Structure 1
Amino acid sequence: MRRHELSDEEWAIIQPLLPQKSRGVPRVDDRRVINGILWRFRTGAPWRDVPERYGPRTTLYNRFVRWRAAGVWDRLLDAVSAAYDGDIVMIDSSCVRVHQHGAAGQKGGPEVGGDRCMGRSRGGLTTKIHALVDAEGRPVKIALTAGQAGDAPAAEQMLPLVAPGATLIADRAYDTNAIRAACADRKAWANIPPRVIRKDSFAFSAWVYRQRNLVKRFFNRIKQFRGLATRYDKSPDNFLAALKLVAIRIWLATI
């Protein structure tokens, strides 16, 4: 087995979760195709440069996009993350640069807009990855926004996944009344350091806050994939699907 390919143990877990029915000609071997997709995002190479041992590049790309549209990657992530208990969760974000190939519009010029999750920030044209992870740094929810977007609004969309009685760990960027109120409504504890401008005081544990490094480790792990450390995909849906595929690998490593 080559580096970064699915092990026998990983394949045994996800094989029963893949679509079992195919119309017409039988599908090309699923394991080989997924390994080729992983190779592409691990190296950041164009689809046309994927080695022939993984099959035709059109098969790899079409399978990746078709399964994304059919929700296969979402279902896989939901299935392998079912072990999530939610006692402690952490939320954070990280920006990635958008490559010129990913930013180009149909006429070859840069195209920026919220619908494409690209925006101008101090790092140039970027996309921001938002992640909610559990106490072992395993991703529970991933979302994308433009690079200049604030962290708190995206976090509010993830709060329904915070279990009642859980502890939410986040940095000062998430110190908003809306987030604290949402946690209180769910009887969860927002262990967030208050901003300097705060006049109210809140319960905060520096010892518990130290665990926040786990969400940083998650971002470090996904950025080992060059196709994720830099965004080459024009479609935000494809880029998000690739993030979910790597998130599935992270979960498989702990099952």
Structure 2
Amino acid sequence: MTFLKEIDYILLELNIYDKRNLRNTVEGVLYRMRDGCPWHDLPEYVGKSNIVYKAYQRWFCSNKLVTLFALLIKDADCEWVFINGAHIKAHHHSSGGNEVAQAIAISKSVAGHAIKIHLTVDDHGNPITFISSDGTTHDVKVTPNLINKIDLSNTDILCADKGYDFEALRAHVKQAGCLNNIPRKQNTKSTNNHMDWQLYKVSHLVENAFAKLKNYRAVATRFDKLRQSYENTVALACAYFWLQL
């Protein structure tokens, strides 16, 4: 099966059919992801902005872009897995409204309104899953949910920085069936004899992935009011990693 036929098969599996204006609609969604502009400022060549927005709204309401990302990562090399989190500024347009806090997932801190993306990459630096949370919740409280989304059956080591030094998290990783490569903090009595420092140097792969994701303006700053809408934008950006391989 050629690459194009495989993509066609995936789109049909998601009930996204090759209609006459599909190319323009997808280009409009990608343009907005790259530029971060309001939907009504889309260029004329993609067609009516309202049509593009309504198509995107249908897709994110049914999590089709998240599903697309999940279908593309089936060949991920997960011998080593790296995790980390990054704060994302929330634009003031995204923090308004009367939606419930869970649907928005934005918190206010000293630096302003923000959320956090928790990302997992494989040993080639390609994203394999992510979750979002409000910007003030500590990473170790969210990471078990992130780990539960990963199939660690073929993973030897999970790497993270010392911010994830938490015994309950280490136990969770062990229960998932792999070793942890998380350094202990200096104020602990335990040693770092378990550490593979050469592998730890490769942890920059997840930082590189964040840097590439933040090239997309709609990912680097959250403009979406709803958490589900923003997560589908991030999923589309992650899927773009795999489409370029």
2: CA distance, partners of 1:11 / 1:125: 41
Q: Tell me the alpha carbon deviations over residues 139-184 of structure 1, each in whole angstroms, 9 at most, x when there is no partner.
A: 1111111111111121111223151342111011111112111222
Matched, 1:237 2:228: yes
2: CA distance, partners of 1:83 / 1:218: 18
2: CA distance, partners of 1:204 / 1:162: 23
Q: 1:22 to 1:64 in 2, by over 3 A?
A: closer
Q: In structure 2, what is the equivalent of residue 216 of structure 1? A: 207
Give the C-alpha shift of residue 75 in structure 1. Answer: 2.3
Give the C-alpha shift of residue 201 in structure 1. Answer: 2.7
Q: Tell me the alpha carbon deviations over residues 106-164 of structure 1, each in whole angstroms, 9 at most, x when there is no partner.
A: 5xxxx893541111234211010111111111111111111111111211112231513
Pick one of 168, 175, 178 that aligns with 2:158.
168
Give the C-alpha shift of residue 14 in structure 1. Answer: 2.5
Q: In structure 1, what is the equivalent of residue 219 of structure 2? A: 228
Matched, 1:44 2:36: yes
Q: Is the 8 A contact 2:63 2:232 kept in 1?
A: no
Matched, 1:200 2:193: no
2: CA distance, partners of 1:64 / 1:77: 15
Give the C-alpha shift of residue 252 in structure 1. Answer: 1.3
2: CA distance, partners of 1:34 / 1:177: 45
Q: In structure 2, what is the equivalent of residue 189 of structure 1? A: 179
Pick one of 141, 145, 157 that aligns with 2:129.
141
Segment drifting more, 65-74 vs 128-137: 65-74
Q: Is the 8 A contact 1:112 1:119 kept in 2?
A: no
Matches within 5 A, 1:66-215: 66-106=58-98, 113-160=101-148, 161-164=150-153, 165-202=155-192, 203-215=194-206
Aligned residues: 240
Q: 1:28 to 1:46 in 2, by over 3 A?
A: farther
Amino acid at match of 1:94: A
Q: Tell me the alpha carbon deviations over residues 14-58 of structure 1, each in whole angstroms, 9 at most, x when there is no partner.
A: 2321147689xx844322211110101100110001112111111
1: CA distance, partners of 2:136 / 2:16: 42
Q: In structure 2, what is the equivalent of residue 56 of structure 1? A: 48
Matched, 1:15 2:8: yes
Amino acid at match of 1:101: H
2: CA distance, partners of 1:61 / 1:98: 20
1: CA distance, partners of 2:119 / 2:113: 20
1: CA distance, partners of 2:22 / 2:16: 12
Segment drifting more, 215-224 vs 112-121: 112-121
> Under a length normalisation based on structure 1, what TM-score does the superposition of the two structures give?
0.86
Amino acid at match of 2:60: R
Amino acid at match of 1:249: Y
Q: Is the 8 A contact 1:42 1:226 kept in 2?
A: yes
1: CA distance, partners of 2:41 / 2:20: 19
Give the C-alpha shift of residue 205 in structure 1. Answer: 1.8
> Under a length normalisation based on structure 2, what TM-score does the superposition of the two structures give?
0.90
Pick one of 57, 65, 69 that aligns with 1:65.
57
Q: In structure 2, what is the equivalent of residue 4 of structure 1? A: none
Q: In structure 2, what is the equivalent of residue 3 of structure 1? A: none
2: CA distance, partners of 1:220 / 1:198: 32
* Structure 1 SS opposite 2:66: helix
Q: Percent identity?
A: 26
* Structure 2 SS opposite 1:83: coil
